[in-house]
């Protein structure tokens, strides 16, 4: 009697223990992916994960996105509580650098897949001294101009290569049609800095040379290339739409997709929106150079990276996955599933979307750089990125001269950044 009574709970306990063991065992084979790209959930479940499992059927993947606006704080909280996933999608620069410095991200030094990336691509997720790499570059966005092919045909225009041709084209559109020549507003301010200043600027400050010069202190924002960039921006004003001061980003997108504007200063991520909404053909051209034959520079901005949670129990599996993400196969899958986000690896990748293909083709013709305010320079007070938004919008509005914009931003940088003092 006694024996039976004691045997029963014992048996259930064993069962329970076995169940729990099985539970942890199956969990340990699954990699959870933290991300802010909830838009990509289908792409992960339908394309990326099945493709990965063809090679590594034993490693299960679970994509667990958080809405973009909550991502940084939610991730921080989860990492502190020890409940974050194994794979972490990395924001570029300081946000991820903070996580690495706090010990939440695994150092990726020695990871084989990293050899497939250029230094520019890796720059967004490396410590300031360049010694530790903590995220693998995943995708970038490229700046350029998207134009309405039908309007160009109607007015018999060709794609401008030089700055002079660019303004000639704008003048023709303005004088010979009722279309808005250049489709951008300054109400949200960031377009002026991102689609304006950072888009056309690299041709002036020679890409990486100028960007690194600002960081090591050998160049100043008051130097000619920067002032010239703002001067060029100031010349946009007559070609913008009426009341562009109150035109928002979504207004610009709508103006273009409704066929009322000819040229749209773009980020490659706009391709998806335009593919869905525009019923005419559109193409893209790169930021025009000063004169024919000059080396061109493009802003190929590192936007998404991928790293490993330092507290993960499956680091080996996570590394296998990261190495696969560095492969040409992943690059091709991702680039074609999300046109406008480009893989950063050195592999040649066949992209089907014609406009995205045009964007990525510039990589082989031009020198790549990233937005010059993102690495290190936006750490202090006043914040350089915020200042660039403000002054670039003001230069286009005509309420500030290019020289004033240059001296104000340089003064801001000098207040806290030692190499510039």
Q: Tell me the closest approach of the beta carbon of residue 417 to other proteins, in angstroms.
A: 13
- 112-126: buried (b, 16+ CB within 10 Å) or exposed (e) per residue? ebbebbeebbbbbbb
User: How far apart are CB 13 and other proteins at their closest, in Å?
Assistant: 42
Q: What token pair was written down for 301?
A: 């901005």
For the CB of residue 190, give the shortest distance to other proteins in the complex, in Å: 8
Which residue number, 3 or 242, has a Cβ lying nearer to other proteins?
242
Closest listed residue to residue 245, CA positions, set 184, 190, 193, 195: 184
Closer CB to other proteins, residue 241 or residue 307?
A: 241
CA distance 130 to 125: 9
The single-letter DSSP state of residue 240 is B
Cβ proximity to other proteins, 93 vs 321, nearer residue? 93
Q: At closest approach, how far in Å is the CB of 373 from other proteins?
A: 7
Q: Which helix (H) or strand (E) holds 112?
A: none
Orientation of helix 68-81 relative to helix 94-101, angle to 10°: 10
Burial class (CB within 10 angstroms; exposed 0-12, middle 13-18, buried 19+) of 58: exposed
Torsions phi, psi for 140 (to 5 deg)? -130, 165
Rounded to a whole number of angstroms, the minimum distance from the CB of residue 383 to other proteins is 4
Which of residues 256 and 330 has its CB atom nearest to other proteins in the complex?
A: 256
Show the tokens assigned to 202. 């690299």
- Which residue number, 334 or 374, has a Cβ lying nearer to other proteins? 374
Q: Which residues contribute to the site for other proteins (CB under 8 A)? A: 93-94, 98, 101-102, 185-190, 241-248, 251, 255, 373-374, 378-379, 381-386, 389-390, 393-394, 397, 399-400, 412, 415
Sequence-distant (≥ 6) Cβ neighbours of residue 32 within 8 angstroms: 62, 64, 85, 86, 87
Using the minimum distance from each CB to other proteins, give the nearer residue, 93 or 145. 93
Minimum distance, C-beta of residue 375 to other proteins, in the bound complex (Å): 10
């Amino acid at each position: 009697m006694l024996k039976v009574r004691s045997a029963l709970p014992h048996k259930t306990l064993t069962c329970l223990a076995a169940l729990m063991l099985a539970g942890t065992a199956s969990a340990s084979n699954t990699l959870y992916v933290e991300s802010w790209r909830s838009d990509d959930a289908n792409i992960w479940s339908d394309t990326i994960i099945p493709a990965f499992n063809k090679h590594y059927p034993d490693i299960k993947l679970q994509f667990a996105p958080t809405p973009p606006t909550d991502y940084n704080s939610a991730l921080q909280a989860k990492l502190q509580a020890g409940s974050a996933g194994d794979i972490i999608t990395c924001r570029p620069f300081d946000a991820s650098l903070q996580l690495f410095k706090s010990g939440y991200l695994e150092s990726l030094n020695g990871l084989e897949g990293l050899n497939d990336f250029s230094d520019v691509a890796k720059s967004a997720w490396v410590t300031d001294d360049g010694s530790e790499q903590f995220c693998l570059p995943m995708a970038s966005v490229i700046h350029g101009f998207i134009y309405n092919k039908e309007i160009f045909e109607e007015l018999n225009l060709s794609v401008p290569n030089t700055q002079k041709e660019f303004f000639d084209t704008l003048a023709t559109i303005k004088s010979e049609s009722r279309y808005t020549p250049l489709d951008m507003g300054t109400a949200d301010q960031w377009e002026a800095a991102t689609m304006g200043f950072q888009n056309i600027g690299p041709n002036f400050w020679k890409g990486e040379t100028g960007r690194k010069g600002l960081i090591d202190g050998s160049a100043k924002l008051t130097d000619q290339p920067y002032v010239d960039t703002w001067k060029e921006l100031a010349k946009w004003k007559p070609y913008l739409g009426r009341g562009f001061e109150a035109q928002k980003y979504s207004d610009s997108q709508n103006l273009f997709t409704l066929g009322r504007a000819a040229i749209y200063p773009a980020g490659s991520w706009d391709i998806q929106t335009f593919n869905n909404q525009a019923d005419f053909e559109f193409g893209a051209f790169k930021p025009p150079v000063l004169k024919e034959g000059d080396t061109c520079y493009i802003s190929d901005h590192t936007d998404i990276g991928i790293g490993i949670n330092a507290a993960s129990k499956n680091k080996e599996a996570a590394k296998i996955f990261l190495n696969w993400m560095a492969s040409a196969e992943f690059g091709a899958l991702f680039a074609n599933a999300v046109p406008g986000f480009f893989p950063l690896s050195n592999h040649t990748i066949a992209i089907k979307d014609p406009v995205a293909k045009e964007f990525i083709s510039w990589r082989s013709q031009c020198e790549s750089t990233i937005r010059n305010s993102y690495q290190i320079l936006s750490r202090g007070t006043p914040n350089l990125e915020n200042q660039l938004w403000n002054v670039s919008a003001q230069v286009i509005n005509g309420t500030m001269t290019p020289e004033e914009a240059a001296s104000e931003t340089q003064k801001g940088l000098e207040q806290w950044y030692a190499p510039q003092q």
